[in-house]
Amino acid sequence: MIELLSREHKEKYLEFRRFVESNIQPFASEWEMNEAIPRETIDKCIEAGYIGGIMPKEFGGQGWDHLTYGVFTEAVAKASTSLSGLFNVHTMVMKSILKWGTEEQKQKWLPYMI
């Protein structure tokens, strides 16, 4: 699949894979056994701009397109389906607020969630 991506999407995918190989893959089995993902891992994802990456920049997101979010999800899911699930549920909530929320709700919740 990677060979079908644009140069920009390939670069993002490789960035995501490097992050996953360093910060997720070595620890994912332990997280599954403990049924918990450490807060420090979530913090690393926040610092990297991955929480809310698909959200518009006006709210603090990275403004990724859906393909970028897809390759991000693939990279994370290869190491941890639990962490991938966390991202997906979080993103569904943010996208729901973005689509159906009032302007006040968007301004209050989206920057906080990102």
What sign does the dihedral 99-60-108-110 (CA atoms) show?
positive
Query: Would you state the pLDDT for residue 49?
Result: 93
pLDDT tens digits, 51-92: 999 999 999 999 999 999 999 999 999 999 999 999 999 999
Domains in the chain with CATH codes:
2-113 (1.10.540.10)
> Containing H/E element for 33?
helix 28-34
Is the predicted pLDDT of residue 1 greater than 90, yes or no? no
* Global pTM value: 0.89
**Is 65:9 a contact under the CB 8 Å cutoff?**
no
pLDDT tens digits, 8-26: 999 999 999 999 999 999 9
Is the predicted pLDDT of residue 2 greater than 90, yes or no? no
Is the predicted pLDDT of residue 109 greater than 80, yes or no? yes
Query: Would you state the pLDDT for residue 48?
Result: 95
Token representation of residue 12 = 């993002």
Query: Would you state the pLDDT for residue 4?
Result: 85
C-alpha 55/C-alpha 114 separation (Å) is: 8
Is the predicted pLDDT of residue 33 greater than 80, yes or no? yes
